[in-house]
């Protein structure tokens, strides 16, 4: 096997995201996306929409939007398209992707000393146009954040993060217990993503060897 080979055109992957965390997670399992094509969507929950349903809908919508925009581009023909969305919820209450310090402070106050759920939807569109979607649920319990909230807000790590925190940063010190997928809370459940890709013919294991199918 020639370890200097590259993957064939039919095994290229487009990541429908601008998230550096998702890119890093894909790279962690040996995937270097051929292109990064973030989807610009309204992520506002629909009336009475449940957190799990929101994560599924947005992941599918992102994948579909990028697929439709790129499928006629000859340079991107025959690619896999992967999208993801992460939703943090307390009960049925969906927490925002915080852009304001006040929002982040409210989220962290709500999460303090209690268990919440993180729903990560992943959606894969294959070169044949087939869509596969999965939602992964993880339970996360935070310690009481009596003296932690203001310093954390000052760090700026909360900006743009679902629920007002990034578990891979300082907020990792808040986590008392986690049941489920750590990588899902970061932004992309690696086990489920790998299974979706392998199940649809993406030669992930050969990629680890630098080979082609």
Catalytic residues: 85
Gap between the Cα atoms of 213 and 198, Å rounded: 12
Please report, for residues 8, 75, 146, 173, the alpha-carbon distance to residue 83 in angstroms, rounded to integers and kept in the order given.
21, 19, 36, 28
Listed in order, strand segments (DSSP E) in the chain are: 13-15, 35-36, 80-90, 93-94, 115-125, 131-142, 175-179
Residue 95 per-residue DSSP state: P
CA angle, 99 as apex, 96 and 101 as ends, to 5°?
A: 100
Confirm if 122 and 84 have CB atoms less than 8 A apart: yes
Helix (H, G, I), strand (E, B) or coil at 159: coil
């Amino acid at each position: 096997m020639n370890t200097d080979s590259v993957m064939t055109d039919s095994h290229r992957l487009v990541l429908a995201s601008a998230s550096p965390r998702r890119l890093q997670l894909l790279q962690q399992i040996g995937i270097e996306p051929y292109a990064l094509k973030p989807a610009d969507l309204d992520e506002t929950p629909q009336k009475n929409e449940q957190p799990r349903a929101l994560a599924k809908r947005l992941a599918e919508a992102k994948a579909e939007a990028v697929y439709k925009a790129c499928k006629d581009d000859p340079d991107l023909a025959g690619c896999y398209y992967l999208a993801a969305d992460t939703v943090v919820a307390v009960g049925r209450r969906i927490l925002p992707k915080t852009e304001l310090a006040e929002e982040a402070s409210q989220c962290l106050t709500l999460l303090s000393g209690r268990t919440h759920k993180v729903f990560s939807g992943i959606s894969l569109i294959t070169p044949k146009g087939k869509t596969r979607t999965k939602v992964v649920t993880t339970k996360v319990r935070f310690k009481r954040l009596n003296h932690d909230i203001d310093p954390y807000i000052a760090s700026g790590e909360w900006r743009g993060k679902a629920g007002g925190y990034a578990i891979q940063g300082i907020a990792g010190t808040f986590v008392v217990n986690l049941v489920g997928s750590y990588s899902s809370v970061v932004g992309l459940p690696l086990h489920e993503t790998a299974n979706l890709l392998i199940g649809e013919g993406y030669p992930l294991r050969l990629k680890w060897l630098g080979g082609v199918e």
